[in-house]
């Protein structure tokens, strides 16, 4: 078979079009898989907190509710800045199913946590992580503040290390509330 130069060029162009189409297909496939994978949320760990009042809080028992787990310390400036925002979120959304548990890291003295709770009139649960097992269960939390938002299905839908933005958190809480069944 003899091909003219022109026909060889046409065949090469067709092959190149196919290669580009194939490349575009794989790029779109990778993007789609990335978006699908990003929607698979990790489950919250199975932990039981002990509040400063001695109350046992089994995280799994809060399924069906939206839960904020906030790792903090009384000597952390950003953590203290977050307290009024957490109180505001609690006041605005607790009646709609929001629970908040602030967990002080292992090095925070219990009497400091109790005093801060009273001083700031914190209405949500404050828990101690005296052995660091809760911080470890949540991915070895070492920096404060670190905040997790857990959806009603018990999955971590948001993680923020550092001071969270109240508007972002509130928007995500509202989105989760809108998906909750009306009772």
Q: What is the pLDDT of residue 159?
A: 95
3-class SS string, the chain? CCCCHHHHHHHHHHHHHHHHHHHHHHHHHHHHHHHHHHCCCCECCCCEEEECCCCEEEHHHHCCCEEEEEEECCCCHHHHHHHHHHHHHHHHHHHHCEEEEEEECCCCCHHHHHHHHHHCCCCCEEEECCCCHHHHHCCCCCCCCEEEEECCCCEEEEEEECCCCHHHHHHHHHHHHHHCCCC
Q: What is the pLDDT of residue 157?
A: 94
Q: What is the pLDDT of residue 38?
A: 46
Read off the tokens for 33: 């898989």
Q: What is the mean pLDDT of each run of 10 residues along the chain (183 residues)?
A: 57 62 55 55 94 96 97 97 97 97 96 97 97 96 97 95 95 94 72
Give the other-Cβ count within 10 Å of 6's Cβ. Answer: 8
Q: How many residues does the chain have?
A: 183
Report CA 63 to chain centroid distance, whole Å.
Answer: 15
Q: What is the pLDDT of residue 34?
A: 56
How far CA 53 is from CA of 65, 113, 124, 147, 158, in Å, comes to 22, 11, 11, 22, 28
Q: What is the pLDDT of residue 30?
A: 54
What is the CATH superfamily name and number for domain 48-179? Glutaredoxin (3.40.30.10)
Cα–Cα distance measured from residue 39 to residue 169, given in angstroms and rounded to the nearest whole number = 18
Q: What is the pLDDT of residue 40?
A: 72
């Amino acid at each position: 078979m003899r091909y003219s130069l022109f026909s060889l060029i046409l065949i090469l162009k067709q092959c190149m079009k196919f290669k580009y189409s194939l490349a575009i297909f794989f790029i779109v496939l990778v993007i789609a898989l990335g978006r699908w994978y990003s929607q698979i949320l990790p489950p919250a760990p199975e932990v039981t907190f002990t509040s400063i009042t001695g109350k046992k809080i089994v995280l799994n028992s809060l399924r069906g509710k939206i839960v904020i787990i906030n790792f903090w310390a009384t000597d952390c400036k950003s953590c203290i800045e977050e307290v009024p925002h957490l109180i505001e979120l609690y006041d605005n959304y607790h009646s709609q199913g929001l629970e908040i548990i602030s967990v002080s890291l292992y090095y925070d003295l219990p009497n400091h946590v109790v005093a801060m709770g009273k001083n700031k009139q914190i209405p949500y649960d404050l828990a101690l992580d005296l052995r660091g097992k809760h911080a470890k269960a949540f991915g070895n939390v070492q920096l404060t503040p670190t905040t997790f938002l857990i959806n009603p299905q018990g999955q971590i839908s948001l993680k923020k290390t550092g001071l969270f933005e109240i508007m972002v958190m509130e928007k995500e809480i509202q989105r989760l509330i809108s998906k909750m069944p009306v009772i």
